Structure 1
Amino acid sequence: MEWESSSKAMLLGAVTCGLYLHYALWGELLLIQDADNHWIDQAHLASQLRWFYGFSFTSLLLIVGTYLVRQLKGDLVLFEYIASLYFGLSLCYFSYQVGTLSLPVGAVMVGAPVVGFIFFNRAAVMLALFLSMLVQLALSFGAAWQWWPYAPMFHNTQGAMSSASPFVVFHMYFYTLPHMVFLITASYLVLRRWRDREEKVRLLSITDPLTGLFNRRSILVHLDQEQERSRKKGPALSLLMVDLDNFKSINDDRGHEAGDFALIAAADALQKSLRQNDRVGRYGGEEFLIILPGTDLEGAQTIAERCRQQLESTDVILAKGDRIKLTGSFGLVCNEGDVRMGVDEMLRRADRAMYRAKDGGRNQVVVDHMHGAA
């Protein structure tokens, strides 16, 4: 995430505050309802409520302190170290209360480091994880050696942890719920952001930034794929190469900004004239490449003429109110007579036909010589 270290620290402080407030309020409810003493040690729970509230209050102090220090000293990575250590070590206290081997503790031990490595400074998370694990090990083995009780919040720990008591099962899941909600939500948001970013990068890698069409590399990849499909399965493939007429004079007389507007308008006009499965890309400079899959020569000529007319009817209106009329020279090649015709050969013939169109007066469609002229 691109958040500042202080913002991340305040977020973690807010999460910790919410967790302990959740535990404290639930403890109050248990005491009011006089819950089944066979499972909950109410005296111990009552004595621990001040700790739950204390951790909530400390979390608020962490948020306020981080904000104030940021105003004085600016953003510091130290904030992430403090917040990570506080989150990890404070939850060791909770794990001691409900049992270091319980479901909520397991969920936090697995999920928190994963989310932490995504959101926070890795060194800060590693330090917090290392110290928290040491404390967890000490609490677990200390209870195993009977230096202190295991899960003191529960009466009859052995029975509570070994039987499927609905009361205990409910509380284990209830204590786990806020952790899971936070971890799953955070993971979802991060993964969605990554996917959005990957999609943007993918689009940037295949798109011409000016016109929004496929760039040269990606349109040639599409041409390779369609040529291979045509060679294997047989439907004809047609290719159009388009060059904007008098584009150099537009740049020279009106400036490069006017030339950019002309390219954008031409790209839009060509796209409007094509079918859903057709592909158009900027081949270079003022040249465009149009792929017409499954299209024989007659159909390709119809589409090419539609593109020419659409381009001819397009006016580029400049800032001062000046208008630029667009036209284009089209070179067309179709492989219906030889589906084994390679990509390089199709490009060469389309380019040759396009130059014949320019030499013949521009603003026309010319078919590769092996098929005659349009």
Structure 2
Amino acid sequence: MKYSGIGGQAVIEGIMMQNGNDYAIAVRKPDGDIEVKKDTYVSITRKHKFLGLPFIRGIFSFIDSMVVGMRALTWSCSFFEDDEEAQPSRFEAWLDKVFGEKLEGILMSVVMVFSFVMAIGIFMVLPLLIARFCKSFIHSETVMAILEGVIRIVIFIAYIKLVSRMEDIKRTFMYHGSEHKCINCIEHGLELTVDNVRASSKEHKRCGTSFIMIVMIISILFFMVIRVDTIWLRIVSRIVLIPVIAGVSYEFLRFAGRHDSKLVNILSRPGMWMQGLTTTEPDDSMIEVAIAAVETVFDWRNYLDETFPGWKENSAGIQGGGTGGACDEKKHKGAAGHDHAAAAMAGNGETE
């Protein structure tokens, strides 16, 4: 695997791919055509050099990924509105009158803040409160920290399992798989074709799902060491330390995305196991959408020329051998592993 610097995330019936400041959203419209939009976003860490320092850049890169992700999601949703002719409610009309063109940005900010607060409550505070029920018969602070972390992981798995029952989410997870497969295809020196992408792995070390898993594991290590007496101080510590934990997790994910050693692959394995919940094998039409997004923001041919000299000859040899351009999936399962904090590091030219 050779690092490419591109990343992205799945949206409604489509894919967002990001390369540096450029990102592209490709969506399969209801009529079957693929619509592609290209735009730019300069990350906070590039505008302010201090915020791009190690262990600081993680939380701001995550904010960048949320901003770009919400933009992409909003645009993809615009193709699937239930009733475009429906009259807006009085409240909607009032909001539009008061805020005008700023309304979309304000709503986006409100949704992001609400989502962040809910995530803190569900995945950081709730596990602590549940674990306290066991305090009467578990007297070891270390065991309590481990229990809290396990509860946090169980809640996350249950949440993913619950939302994955929705049909739209199932298809989004399929698009998520196509995003990973496209990046794995390129980063293993293969021509970006539907056949090669289909045979590539749907796991990747730079995935946002892996980031979340790393955050939960590192939080266990932090809270085994940092101990306070009262429940309120414990809650405050969980909230205050989020940027620190996110910063450390980001640095590990960034390092893992650039290295392919056995140790890195072993340490990345829990996150890649978790990707089994958020990625599903896509169909060829989804792969075509992912390829369209990649080609809009990334010159993969030039990348292969520089990183994998002779790739054209290898591709010709594969096709001549009657494999239809497909790669050996077993080889890629072990070496590869990729929403999306994902596009966070891509926005900084670092990861997916």
Q: Which has the higher contact order (CA 8 A, sep 6+)?
A: 2
- Normalized against structure 1, the TM-score is what? 0.25
Larger radius of gyration: 1
- Normalized against structure 2, the TM-score is what? 0.26
